[in-house]
Amino acid sequence: MESKIIETTYSQLKKLKEEILSCVDQTNSNQSIQNLQAYIKLRSLDLRELQNHLTNLGLSSLGRAQSCVINSINQDILILSKLLHIPYTQSQNDLDVLNYDDAKNIMLKNSEVFGKSDTSFKTKVMVTLPSEASNSPELISKLITNGTSVFRINTAHDDATTWNKMASYIKEENEKQNKQTKIYVDLAGPKNRTQPIIKVFKPFKIGSWRNPKLVEIVPVSNQEVFTKKHEKNTNNPVQATLVVSHDFFQVCKSSKKVKIDDFERDARQCYIIIKKDDKIFLEVNKKITIYENTTMEIKDENHKYISCFYNIEKLPQDIKLYKGNQIIITKQDILGASDYSYENVVYNAIIGCSNKEIFPYVNIGDDIYIDDGKIGCKVLHINEIGLVCEVFLAKENGTSLKEEKGINFPSTDLQIDAITPTDEKNFEDIVEFADIIGLSFAQTAEDIKKLQNMLKMKKKQHIAIAPKIETKTALKNLPLILEKLLEWENHALMIARGDLAIEVGFDNLPYIQEEILNICEASHTPVIYATQILEGKMKNNLPSRAEVTDAAIAQRADCVMLNKGPYVTDTVIVIKNILRQMHTLFQKNRQLFSICQAWKVN
């Protein structure tokens, strides 16, 4: 019985090898491209039964053959031929294919795009720099000291002056510390974001009878100050600022009390004036609400002085959406607002989309997600100003619609270029200092080719290219994207899990990220594992158990990206410790190869 299984397995392996070789371009001298082609063919077949037979025979099940596909099959064929006493002579082509050690050396060399490898673990750490890093090198210095290998500069924020300051600080610190910390720059790409919302004054409360609050009175001549309530901050005893006329402020200097409109009680509340170091405050021991038409009054024996408030801070209107609401996502320059009337129909809200190119590609029935998937809606119909959608996903008590939040179109094939005119301008500003350029929303091999040509024009072929995989279209085109990428000496790929999760569905993300890691291993392409890594630790200094486990998976990648946060240095130390421990434990696990559905297989 066992002899029959051995014979069958031997025949299946030889047939498998022939099928795979027929799909490999053997005239292409790039061994990584050849191995990628072999892996793609391998994943177009259901091999689970064959893998089980190989495991039962004590042979390699091919479950970790990604980096050297043909060699792995050859080794099993060679062993089975000896068990069957069948003469089998390996051809020169068999002997020349990549073996595991060769593939490992290629991968180690390619991963140096993130810096020289640490002997204790392979995975480098990338940190996204906040805007304030341009004002002082201290944060950069501390992060380099604690083992950051790559800094990320995001051109979706700040400007060329800020980016250049960050880059100069990194280079200065590299010289001081004798390090080679790399600079990764993201081109923002055609990011779809919600547009500005109409600004309104939001009434706010001041005062407390239990714990009287201080409110500062400021003259309108101080144009930098706004009438506003301050965020709760234990270091700031002032609850709010009220800006009054210059004459009224002068009267306050010689007065002891002031009255403020209290519309809830249809009265004026009286407060004591406090003078400190040429500043004027009120001790507010009664709670009232400040409205746009609230006034202040001071009376003496002969006069009554009244002032309204100036420099009133206006903030985006609060827009809450509920399941069943109808909204318009508009292509026109209309400010976002609630209760928007169009053609005698009142919609619950209207919001603009920053990228006007997408509208011709959207169809009735397509799903749209806003703000990292917090709001989900479906296109009901399309009119002259945009897309009429019905909300199907929102919190029971409503979800706020905000400006500058991402919009995803997972049901729509958006055939738009990854490099926008803005990116082309920003490219000119960053090309002199970038070590790696991240290509956001890369979807086709043509997107990669365009950036390659831009770098060739500048004679900057040493700069690495890293497409970010974050759409369904990119996923389907991933084999072609990788082939084009492999034509460039220095390259990497980012699994941008934020937008990708919305595109493929959160429940599908673990499977998809594993498939991307596998195909990148087959092409010997270094991987950046990104989005919300140790987010709780970064923001609150306390990671969840799930975050720690997620961070451990990053050991599969060559680089892990951390975002911004107040505890970034501590987070770098923690994740390096996690990666170091995982490196000592990680073993190659056998995988079962069913037919891969993640990308197109030709």
Is residue 391 a contact partner of residue 324, using CB atoms and an 8 Å limit?
yes
Q: Nearest-CA neighbor of 493 among 503, 504, 501, 484?
A: 484
State which residues of the chain have pLDDT below 50.
Answer: 587-589
Rounded Cα gap, residues 555 and 123, in angstroms: 6
Is residue 378 a contact partner of residue 172, using CB atoms and an 8 Å limit?
no
Instruction: Point out which residues pair with 192 in neighbouring strands.
Output: none
Rounded Cα gap, residues 516 and 504, in angstroms: 13
Residue-wise pLDDT for 11-59, tens only, equals 999 999 999 999 999 889 999 999 999 999 999 999 999 999 999 999 9
Reported pTM: 0.86
Query: Under CATH, which architecture does the 119-190+417-585 domain have?
Result: Alpha-Beta Barrel (3.20)
Q: Nearest-CA neighbor of 123 among 99, 107, 105?
A: 107
pLDDT value of position 212: 82
Residues 6+ positions from 22 with CB-CB distance below 8 Å: none
Rounded Cα gap, residues 190 and 356, in angstroms: 10
Is residue 186 a contact partner of residue 155, using CB atoms and an 8 Å limit?
yes
Is residue 545 a contact partner of residue 551, using CB atoms and an 8 Å limit?
no
Residue-wise pLDDT for 334-391, tens only, equals 999 999 999 999 999 999 999 999 999 999 999 999 999 999 999 999 999 999 999 9
Strand, coil or helix: 367: strand
Rounded Cα gap, residues 157 and 142, in angstroms: 23
Q: Nearest-CA neighbor of 432 among 169, 148, 185, 150?
A: 185
Task: Name residue 364's amino acid.
Answer: I
pLDDT value of position 588: 47
Residue whose tokens read 């200097």: 253
345: tokens are 């129909």
Rounded Cα gap, residues 395 and 234, in angstroms: 31
| 475-505: b (≥16 Cβ within 10 Å) or e | bbbbbbbbbbbbebebbbbbbbbbbbbbbbe
pLDDT value of position 602: 52
**What is the dotted CATH code of the domain comprising 317-408?**
2.40.33.10
Distances (CA, A) of 425 to 61, 431, 454: 50, 10, 12
Strand, coil or helix: 265: coil
Residue whose tokens read 């939001």: 202
218: tokens are 């400021």
pLDDT value of position 120: 60
User: How many alpha carbons lie under 13 Å from residue 33 in its C-beta half-sphere?
Assistant: 15
Distances (CA, A) of 307 to 37, 223, 252, 260: 76, 16, 11, 10
Q: Where are the domains of the chain?
A: 2-98, 119-190+417-585, 199-315, 317-408
pLDDT value of position 91: 78
Question: How buried is 285 (Cβ within 10 angstroms: 0-12 exposed, 13-18 middle, 19+ buried)?
Answer: middle
Residues 6+ positions from 366 with CB-CB distance below 8 Å: 378, 379, 409, 411, 412
